Structure 1
Amino acid sequence: MQNSSHSPYRFHALLARLTEEAGRHSAKHAEFTLHSHFQPIFSLAHRRVVGHEGLLRATAESGKAVSPYTVFASARSESEIVLLDRLARLLHVSNFINHPVEHQWLFLNAEPNAFIHAGKYGPFFAELFDHYQLPPHQIVIEVLETAIDDNRLLGHAVEYFRELGCLIAIDDFGAGHSNIDRIWRLKPDIVKLDRTLITEASDNREARHILPGLVGLLHEAGALVLAEGVETEAEAMLAMESDCDLVQGYLFALPSPSFVEAQDSDETFNSLWNHFDERVKHEIEHNQTILIPYTQAFNDVAQQIREGREFLDATQSFLELGLALRCFLLDAEGRQIGRHTTQFAQASRSERYLPLLDTEGAVWSRRQYFRQAMKRFGEIQVSRPYLSLVNADYCVTLSLGMQINQAPCVLCADLLWLSENEDTDL
């Protein structure tokens, strides 16, 4: 273990390798000159910069730009990787503190091999924070968890930085072999979604439906969600619709040696929010218009049932509407009363799910549409879109809490759900 105060891995030894010109620091390592670039990270809700990611830039002796990968690939040992990693982070911090960035985060990428050996080569980070009087909670350590196979070492390294007071971010989540179970164990403060998740959702209907659920899952785990690599307004819209908290990408700002001023992003956010608000308004109006005949017919079904008409007869006219899939009745515990009635033209789609088609006696008390109907008894509820267990249709459910023969029940109807850009819609 390298603990000597003269160790090349210690803070003051690395500090001596920095040079300053025109207010910006650079560093030398072997044949490379290292520089800092910064890319801002924005809060969608706050419409402003809340942090910057420090990005390494390097040039060879010839003056030709080389990639960070090339620089780290030149390291011949674990100790040299640690030295390079620390030098890069020191460089970013020294450039960061020269700018008025109070109450902003600095995101620092961690080289995986250096990350898992963070405490092995002396107390560099504590000395770094003390020298610059930098609060540790202003630093977000980004770790590429897919590059680290050893869960024990990964967990120890995360705890090391967390005990220092830093925030932890999982980088490039969703790329390669990201493990969702590591989210539960590592409990990161921020999860950065890999750009491929956003681009895939732009072109793939199923991915677009899944993305909000993934973001919600990460929120349930206690993490903020950052969409990285956002390059177009359409991708930004997806991040907003999926309830991402933070965004980063070329749409908002390119990496630069300089820091983005707050007002520089005003025009982008004004345009983005205006288009988002217009889209939401149009979607609400569109869906309300489409829903009118279904809610009216559903209300009519409820009235006929109250008047004593048989369930099969009462639901027949409703099921003749084009997007109607099925009607069913639940008791106060959410158990299905009898068989459901089905729109046979749509039922033909469910042959592959025949084992699930008979739902008599099934219990649906876990469903949001049941809980909302019981909570707001007497008011028609419209669920969020979800995948039907009966025949794998993407649907929404109308539900209504009502009294039948003096017993509380919930009347339900499933409607086929397709996005506005597909053949039919709600």
Structure 2
Amino acid sequence: MLTAVPDIRKIIENRSLITHFQPQVSLKRKAVVGLEALSRGFDPQSGEIIPPTLLFEQARDRASRLALDRACRTNAAESFAALHRKDKSMMLSMNIDASCINEETRGSCHVLNLVTRCGISPSNVIIEIIESRCEDMDALMAFVKFYRENDFLIALDDVGAGFSNLDRIPLLKPDVIKLDRTLISGVDKHFHKLEVVRSFVQMSNRLGCLVLAEGVETAEEAMCLLSNGVDVFQGYYFARPAPGLDAVPGMASKVDALAERHRENRTQQIADDKRLYSSYDLTVLTMCQELAETQAKDMGQVLAKFVDTYDSVECLYVLDMRGNQITDTVCDPRRLKTSKRFLYEPAEVGADHSLKEYFLPIQAGLEKFTTRPYISLASGNLCITISHMFYHKSSGRHRILCVDMSRAEEGGPR
């Protein structure tokens, strides 16, 4: 066991550093697409490894942090250079301590000079910026601009962790967003975490950047993320950081098995969803046909009967073609939350739904529309809303039936 950490100056001077690499895996490509360089120190006398947290804690002043940061980068680039000569497609991810980027270091071109000296193409290097450590935003912006103009890629690390500065995303316009392990851990079991991941994926797709999930430790996490638009993964499930650049034993078969499992699961899910949503559509159409023949004053009773008849129905209400609610919201009382009633409350007659996701497509000309799963403001449960237009004979007007169908089986809060 390491009893005392050698002086940080001696570690830097003697290059008592070793670079471990952790693969970044694309399941859709079934390949390792990149390696993140992770530095460890070692005691030159005993040979014992100094963990990264303990190592970087020793660099307490700005000069030591900069010297250690550059020494780690140099080690990483020199270690990666041999692989780059063999495989020009592999990417190298290097961490940059953003606290070292300031007016004093601005314009040093250290990273550019380093990769040039090592014969590494800048387009194969991803500079990872830990977003919580920036002290000089102007210098950081200039740094990012310079390296992007020289064909480097920029990644924002630890996104979703602690007090993440999300304003850095539009400022730095990263090519890669690395979702922190605190967000990834247990994502297959936590609906709220999954919704945050989905939001990052959707935003990244629109911004033209890649989402990479860090800290993936189980097949279930990987499967859940893959099903929700994440393709590149890094974590102990695939491989632990290790010295050397050799292929990790067993990882290829693990990747193949996950890819095949994903294909089978998605095929089955699509078939199941098709059957389920067909049954939903038939149920809602049957309701509309009965409501078309119902007097306006009796609609509430008919809606209550639907709740009793169909187990999957949580709430129902009817809108006019301007999006105004013309019936009470009739709910299954067993599904309503007894707490948080100030958050979740069924809408009343006269409520304006004209901007709701399930109304606008009908107004635009669709006969029916089905939303993605979301937390209902009426019940506080995970549901989908199906809106379906019908012609109400006694009033001589078109109406819209809105039905909240329970999707609690997808893992949302109950």
Q: Secondary structure at the match of 2:156?
A: strand
TM-score (norm. length: structure 2): 0.82
Report whether the alignment pairs 1:134 with 2:134: no
Q: Corresponding residue for 2:405?
A: 415
Structure 1 position 124 matched with structure 2 position 110: yes
**Aligned-partner Cα distance in 2 for 1:258–1:391:** 54
2:245 and 2:392 mapped to 1: Cα distance?
A: 66
CA contact (8 A) 1:374 1:401 kept: no
Q: Does residue 47 of the first structure (1) align with residue 30 of the second (2)?
A: yes
CA distance in 1, matches of 2:229, 2:70: 34
- Structure 2 partner of 1:340: 329
What code does the residue aligned with 1:382 have?
A: T
* Corresponding position of 1:144: 130
CA contact (8 A) 2:22 2:35 kept: yes
Tell me, yes or no, if structure 1 residue 389 matches structure 2 residue 372.
Answer: no
Q: Which deviates the most, 280-289 or 207-216? A: 280-289
Deviation at 1:398, TM superposition (A): 1.7
- Asked if structure 2 preserves the Cα contact closer than 8 Å seen for 1:90 and 1:128, the reply is yes
Q: Is the 8 A contact 1:32 1:59 kept in 2?
A: no
1:213 counterpart = 2:199: yes
The aligned counterpart of 1:358 is 347
For 1:116 and 1:384, the matched residues in 2 are separated by 45
Task: Give me the identity figure in percent.
Answer: 28
Q: Does structure 2 retain, via aligned residues, the 8 Å contact 1:183–1:221?
A: no
What amino acid does structure 2 have at the position aligned with 1:341? V
Q: Which amino acid aligns with 1:113?
A: S
Which of these residues, 45, 53, 67, is aligned with residue 51 of structure 2?
Answer: 67
**What is the aligned-residue RMSD (CA, Å)?**
3.4
Alignment of structure 1 residues 306-385 onto 2, 5 Å: 306-310=292-296, 311-320=299-308, 321-347=310-336, 349=338, 352-353=341-342, 356-373=345-362, 377-378=366-367, 380-385=368-373
1:24-43 correspondence to structure 2 within 5 Å: 29-43=12-26
Residue equivalent to 1:14? none
Q: Select 2:243's aligned residue among 254, 257, 272.
A: 257
Greater Cα shift, 86-95 or 125-134? 125-134
SS of the aligned residue for 2:226 comes to helix
| Equivalent residue letter for 1:233 | A
> Could you give the per-residue CA deviations for residues 251-279 of structure 1, whole angstroms, max 9, x where no partner exists?
22232333354996431122112323343
CA shift for structure 1 position 158: 3.0
Which structure 1 segments of 5+ residues have no match?
1-26
Are 2:75 and 1:85 aligned?
Answer: no
1:363 positional shift = 3.6
Residue type at the aligned position of 2:100 = A
Distance in structure 1 (CA, Å) of the matches to 2:207 and 2:325: 33
Q: AA paired with 1:86?
A: R
User: Which amino acid is the alignment partner of residue 95 of structure 1?
Assistant: S
Partners of 2:95 and 2:104 lie apart in 1 by 13
Of residues 254-263 and 43-52 in structure 1, the stretch that sits farther from structure 2 once superposed is 254-263
AA partner of residue 353 (structure 1): F
Task: Provide Cα deviations, 1:65-115, integer angstroms capped at 9, x if missing partner.
Answer: 112344444447433432332232222222222122312321001123223
Deviation of 1:281 (Å)? 4.3
Write the mapping of 1:268-279 to structure 2, written as runs, cut at 5 A.
Answer: 268-279=254-265
Instruction: Provide the secondary structure at the position in 2 that maps to 1:91.
Output: helix
Judge which range, 237-246 or 404-413, deviates more. 404-413
For 1:85 and 1:289, how far apart are their aligned partners in 2? 56
Give the aligned partner of residue 8 of structure 1.
none
CA, structure 1 residues 221+408, in 2 after alignment: closer, same or farther (shift >3 Å)?
Answer: farther
Alignment of 1:167-206 (within 5 A): 167-206=153-192
TM-score (norm 1): 0.80
Matches of 1:134 and 1:408 in 2, distance apart?
A: 66
Q: Runs in 1 of length 4+ with deviation above 6 angstroms?
A: 421-424
Distance 1:258 1:213, change over 3 A: same
When the two structures are aligned, how many residues end up with a matched partner? 397
Q: Out of 213, 220, 224, which is 1:238 matched to?
A: 224
3-state SS in 2 of match to 1:29: helix
Of 73, 81, 86, the residue aligned with 1:97 is 81
Q: Distance in 2 between matches of 1:322 and 1:215?
A: 33
Out of 230-239 and 397-406, give the one that drifted further.
397-406
The amino acid across from 2:401 in the alignment is L
Contact 2:81–2:119 (8 Å) recurs in 1: no
The verdict on how the C-alpha distance between 1:124 and 1:210 changes in structure 2, with shifts beyond 3 A counting, is closer
Residues 136-188 of structure 1: CA deviation (Å, up to 9, x unaligned): 23211111111235544443443343343322111122222112222232221
- Greater shift, 410-419 or 79-88, is seen at 79-88
The answer on whether the counterparts of 1:32 and 1:71 sit within 8 Å (CA) in structure 2 is no
Name the CA shift for 1:309/1:210 in 2 (closer, same or farther; >3 Å). farther
Query: Which stretch of structure 1 is more off in the superposition, 227-236 or 70-79?
Result: 70-79
2-structure distance, mates of 1:136, 1:408? 62
Deviation, structure 1 residue 294: 4.3
Deviation by residue 1:294-353 (Cα, 9 ceiling, x = unmatched) = 443321111123335543344343211233222223344444344333334434647713
Structure 2 distance, partners of 1:201, 1:240, is 11
Q: 1:127 to 1:351 in 2, by over 3 A?
A: closer
The secondary structure found in structure 2 opposite 1:89 is helix
What is the CA–CA distance in structure 1 between the aligned matches of 2:210 and 2:248, rounded to whole Å? 22
| Amino acid in the other structure paired with 1:192 | K
SS of the equivalent of 1:161 reads helix
Change (3 A) 1:262 1:84: closer
